[in-house]
Amino acid sequence: MLETVCSSRIEEVMTALEARYPDQPEFLQAVGEVVPSLVPVLEQHPEFIEANILERLVEPERVVKFRVSWVDDEGNVNVNRGFRIGFNGAIGPYKGGLRFHPTVNEGVLKFLAFEQVFKNSLTGQPIGGGKGGSDFDPRGRSDGEVMRFCQSFMGELYRHIGPDTDIPAGDIGVGGREVGYLFGAYRKITNTFTGVLTGRGLEYGGSLIRPEATGYGAVYFADEMARHSGKSLEDKICLVSGSGNVAQYAVEKLIQLGAKAVTLSDSSGWIHDPAGIDNAKLEWVMDLKNNRRGRISEYAEEFPGSTFTPTDREAASNPLWSVPSDCAFPCATQNEILGTDARNLVEGGCWLVSEGANMPTDPTGQSVFREHGVLYGPGKAANAGGVAVSALEMSQASQRQFWNRDEVDNKLQGIMKNIHEMSANAAAEYGFGQDLLHGSNVAGFLKVARAMLSQGVI
């Protein structure tokens, strides 16, 4: 009976959300991925239903939207849209990255900010969930153009953020260069030097291991999943998508653990290197992507035996996921593994998926993994290492301390292990067996829901 009440309450919330935001499919998908996990939780906690926690949880606390005008190298005036979303601050100041990509809109950022609430809760650190960004595309822009854009963006954003209010970081299209320009603009406008952004350079308050943290963390999480099944990553063939920050450091950690990464991609296509991407090739990729800002197709020209396949936008599946493998690390963007891709992965022998990207697998793909018993680490758990080390960067900055590489890396490993354990325990406790997707949703939710309940209706 209670189960029926909870299910119908959840259905009501979902239906209302779909009616209110029909033009935000990614956000509806992210919420739809979480709510089925909450049925047994709400059954055990009717106080959450009475306080209408679910309906409050799916509505952001605030959405700031602003114009960003800037001048390009030819003297043309350009206009982009800027956003910052504070989704839920019940357990700490808003924390989450900034994404600069032409596909950015309010719905995409709401999906990312909603996921961030659960992810940040799972890290065990006192950070709420937020996200922001712009539809500005830094690809092909000069350093001067990127700097002027960042300065204009911060010219408005500075009013809404602060070290105790909202602490942005990087995401797609926002790396060390962009964080530097954004921080410089904030410092100048506000006349303060504070930890208002994470992912800062080491020279101005950054933390060691922060650039590596998301990619390393996704591999630590995979290692943890494998070990709990009596397996290991050593000698395993791994598919990695993307070639940005997360993908690069996922490959670096895979090499260190004796695995063999054989693919990388960007929006123009993907490369397959059956011999494996070793340290020297990875160093070349890092220089290509981070300094020369080139395309991944150049890899196949540089390394004989590897191939490049351009992206076919009309195709129903991505052939990268058809390469025979043991493990997959999607590290590019949302919805890059659809149902057919998931089936191709399973047919190719893949038994483990650890998500470096946010929501890279769609609901059909997730069902395929579940049906075939694939060890599946959802992004909100598997890629939480980045924000966890961002929180460590905040701690170091506020204590005026600087931890060495090993100290931060050990803490990161401990946090990933803990997230795995919390998710596995929550899955078992609430009747989801070993399903880490449900488990991470439940574990992330409980802490936030309790904090919201304690703070009253605000």
Catalytic residues: 131
* Binding residue (CB under 6 A) for ligand NDP from 33, 171, 341, 409: 171
Minimum Å gap between C-beta 453 and ligand NDP is: 28
* Binding residue (CB under 6 A) for ligand NDP from 356, 365, 377, 444: 356
For residue 70, give both structure tokens: 């800037």
Three-state SS sequence of the chain: CHHHHHHHHHHHHHHHHHHHCCCCHHHHHHHHHHHHHHHHHHHHCHHHHHCCHHHHHCCCCEEEEEEEEEECCCCCEEEEEEEEEEEECCCCCEEEEEEECCCCCHHHHHHHHHHHHHHHHHCCCCCEEEEEEECCCCCCCCHHHHHHHHHHHHHHHHHHCECCCEEEECECCECHHHHHHHHHHHHHHHCCCCCCCCCCCHHHCCCCCHHHHHHHHHHHHHHHHHHHCCCCCCCCEEEECCCCHHHHHHHHHHHHCCCEECEEEECCEEEECCCCCCHHHHHHHHHHHHHCCCCCHHHHHHCCCCEEEECCCCCCCCHHHHCCCCEEECCCCCCCECHHHHHHHHHCCCCEEECCCCCCECHHHHHHHHHCCCEEECHHHHCCHHHHHHHHHHHHHHCCCCCCHHHHHHHHHHHHHHHHHHHHHHHHHCCCCCCHHHHHHHHHHHHHHHHHHHCCCC
Site string for ligand NDP, 368-407 (x = CB under 6 A): ---------------x--x---------------------
Using rule CB under 6 A, residue 332 touches ligand NDP: yes
The residue (of 40 and 93) whose beta carbon lies closer to ligand NDP is 93
Partners of 133 in beta bridges: 83, 99
Using rule CB under 6 A, residue 170 touches ligand NDP: yes
- Segment contacting ligand NDP (CB under 6 A): 20-28, 37-45, 350-358, 421-429? 350-358
Minimum Å gap between C-beta 332 and ligand NDP is: 4
- Segment contacting ligand NDP (CB under 6 A): 55-63, 171-179, 180-188, 366-374? 171-179
Minimum Å gap between C-beta 385 and ligand NDP is: 8
For residue 62, give both structure tokens: 């605030």
- Segment contacting ligand NDP (CB under 6 A): 75-83, 262-270, 406-414, 445-453? 262-270
The residue (of 332 and 427) whose beta carbon lies closer to ligand NDP is 332
The residue (of 37 and 214) whose beta carbon lies closer to ligand NDP is 214
Q: How do strand 94-100 and strand 77-88 relate by DSSP bridges?
A: unpaired
The residue with its CB nearest to ligand NDP is 244
- Segment contacting ligand NDP (CB under 6 A): 74-82, 321-329, 354-362, 396-404? 354-362
Using rule CB under 6 A, residue 354 touches ligand NDP: no
Using rule CB under 6 A, residue 267 touches ligand NDP: yes
Minimum Å gap between C-beta 192 and ligand NDP is: 25
Using rule CB under 6 A, residue 340 touches ligand NDP: no
Which residues ranging from 211 to 250 are in contact with ligand NDP (CB under 6 A)? 214, 242-247
Site string for ligand NDP, 105-144 (x = CB under 6 A): ----------------------------------x-----
Using rule CB under 6 A, residue 173 touches ligand NDP: yes
Minimum Å gap between C-beta 252 and ligand NDP is: 13
Residues near ligand NDP (CB under 6 A): 139, 170-173, 175, 214, 242-247, 266-268, 331-333, 356-358, 383, 386
